[in-house]
Amino acid sequence: MNHSSQEWSSQGRQPGPSQAPGQHGEAPAQASYPSPAPEIRIEIDSKRLPAYARTRAGEPTVTVRSADEETKGNVLAYVHVPQDRPDHGRKARPPFTVSGPNAEPLCSVRPTGSGVYEVYGGDGAPVGRITRQDGRALPWPRRPRWTVQAVTGGEPLTAKRGTPAGWALFTAFSPVFLVIWVLGALQGLIPLLFGDKDEAKKESAWDLGLPSRALWRTPGDSEVVVDYRGGGIFHITSSRLDPRLAYAQSVLHLWDGV
């Protein structure tokens, strides 16, 4: 699944001025840029994904930004989810498109049912497939499994939601989490009694998030290609994954947990 890292939206660089032709009509000299780092970090604020139907017309649903120190905050891509398309849950999220910083189409993601998503490039050509499978009911926990397969072939990347250590800690402290959640819900009832629904939502909004750490790698390979450590930030080995598949998988993984 190797892929040239030079296609990664130039690491969030801002577009520069166009170059004039050289002397005697030669093609302008290409600007020289430092080679992208083997690993890049991207950040996505997924809070707006569940409320995609309320996004203002013309605005992106969420934004993919660089999380690297030198380019932190620079826009890498925009994610657009149609407001009128239904969300069928984890098995079939609405279709969405990803565009570059200058609105150039990068890819589209279309659900086909049963947790399968086909990814197409901006030109309509197939890029790959992303599949979500529910984990086994037993032994608990039931950890969903992601598979990313590029159309170019090669070994697929797979990952399970949450690490064994993360699930062990979650299980050990779940009674405490439950008590805190109940107290938050009770606190939210007070403003609700006075008719302030918005304030009630704020008071009771306590996220009992399940473990979300995920490591994408090829079967039998110890090298991690995508590492999600939480906070909406993905660490990606850019030379081994098509950026369009990386953006699509990142959005789907975050949406799976909100």
pLDDT digits (tens, 9 = 90+) for 70-100: 999 999 999 999 999 999 998 899 999 999 9
Q: Quick check: 126 and 115 in contact, CB under 8 A?
A: no
Local structure of residue 154 (DSSP, 8 states): S
**Amino acid identity of 225?**
V
What's the average model confidence in pLDDT over 251-258? 90
Which tops the pLDDT comparison, 179 or 7? 179
From residue 245, give the alpha-carbon distance in Å to each of 13, 59, 135, 184, 226: 20, 22, 22, 38, 11
CA atoms of 161 and 177, how far apart (whole Å):
19
Confidence of residue 128 (pLDDT cuts 50, 70, 90): very high
What's the rounded Cα separation, in Å, for the pair 175 and 35? 49
Structure tokens at 204: 């009771």
Task: Return the residue matching tokens 């120190």.
Answer: 69
| 207-232 exposure pattern, b = at least 16 Cβ within 10 A, e = fewer | eeeebbbbbbbbeeeeebbbbbeeeb
pLDDT in tens, 219-246: 989 899 999 999 999 999 988 899 999 9
- pLDDT, one tens digit per residue, over 182-231 is 666 666 566 556 555 554 444 444 455 666 789 999 998 989 999 999 99
> Which has the closest alpha carbon to 108: 214, 226, 251, 225?
251
Name which of 52, 145, 135, 117 is nearest 247 in CA terms: 117
* Confidence (pLDDT) at 239: 85
Cβ atoms of 158 and 216 closer than 8 Å: yes
Q: What is d(CA 102, CA 47) in angstroms, rounded to the nearest whole number?
A: 23
Please give the pLDDT value at position 213.
86
The average confidence (pLDDT) of the chain is: 80
